Chain A
């Protein structure tokens, strides 16, 4: 990633980032997204943390997609594994309590991040094409919780009563 070409993210860019999440959730996953401030987000993070030990709910996933073109950077989506599972089940039209295989979870969450990144970039500049790297999905260590990133833009939202953070830099 070249720091020279990294996008300078304005407040409207950050709003567009949140709009991209809403667009993807509502059009591909048929779920409504609510915005939330940091205290609300952290309360939900604590709630997820307290669910640890009951299946996959307490672990977090980080899905990162690099992009190149008029600008160069990275979009990351950070979400609890339980939300990732729910999103993939929803996208595939499976019954709500369905279980999915690990590779399906990682592939589906990567595709979610891919769509968020692409939607954000397309709306930011419809005259510039871009290339997206393959999504990289990482399962975070037990006990890890998201904190506000030191640099770049981020927005926190609630999806299906669970917290989701999107970051760009």
Chain B
């Protein structure tokens, strides 16, 4: 899955990891990421933080979209693990959660989360998030 635009034409395709316990939400994000005006390489999926860590350890990932409330290892625990690993310091972290509270947002910011998207979201919101990446507003 890849797309190109004038602004993003020279970018190396991004490998993306979607972490959500809901297969429906993963499918939705997969579809929306494909609509982005940005070159996308591989899109990996994981149902919880523990499985996400396995993907991060074996694949080259540039952006992680993660839910917060998940079984086994939740999104905040995943982000804390990622913060401990210097080799993942440049991975873009995006939280997509129903929890839009100020406390959770602050916690996410402390864990190097660049963008926090509240569910429910319109697909354009995620597309715009990826466009920000393309225009180097975030990275």
- A126 and B24 contact, Cβ closer than 8 Å, known pairs A27-B121, A118-B119, A134-B71: no
- A115 and B119 contact, Cβ closer than 8 Å, known pairs A93-B31, A107-B24: yes
Say if the beta carbon of A13 comes within 8 Å of chain B.
no
How far is B54's CA from A122's CA once the two chains are assembled, in angstroms?
31
How far is B31's CA from A93's CA once the two chains are assembled, in angstroms?
9
How far is B103's CA from A168's CA once the two chains are assembled, in angstroms?
23
Nearest CB in chain A: distance from B108 CB, A? 10
B residues within 8 A CB of A126?
100-102
Nearest CB in chain A: distance from B124 CB, A? 11
Say if the beta carbon of B23 comes within 8 Å of chain A.
yes
Which residue of B24, B99, B100 contacts A91 across the interface (Cβ within 8 Å)?
B24
B120: nearest residue on chain A (CB-CB)? A28
A129 touches B22 (CB 8 A): no
B residues within 8 A CB of A57?
none
Q: Is the interface of A mostly helix, strand, loop or mixed?
A: helix
Say if the beta carbon of A119 comes within 8 Å of chain B.
yes
How far is B125's CA from A19's CA once the two chains are assembled, in angstroms?
21
How many residues of A are in contact with the other chain, CB < 8 A?
A: 31
B120 touches A119 (CB 8 A): yes
B35: nearest residue on chain A (CB-CB)? A93
A128 touches B101 (CB 8 A): yes
A132 touches B69 (CB 8 A): yes
Within 8 A of B (CB), among A109-125: 110-111, 114-115, 117-119, 121-122, 125
Which residue of A107, A117, A130 contacts B22 across the interface (Cβ within 8 Å)?
A107
B residues within 8 A CB of A114?
22, 69, 98, 119
What is A's interface to B at a CB cutoff of 8 Å? 23-24, 27-29, 88, 91-93, 103-104, 107-108, 110-111, 114-115, 117-119, 121-122, 125-132, 134
Would you list the 7 A-B pairs with minimal beta carbon distance, nearest first?
A118-B98, A28-B120, A122-B100, A108-B24, A129-B103, A27-B120, A129-B101
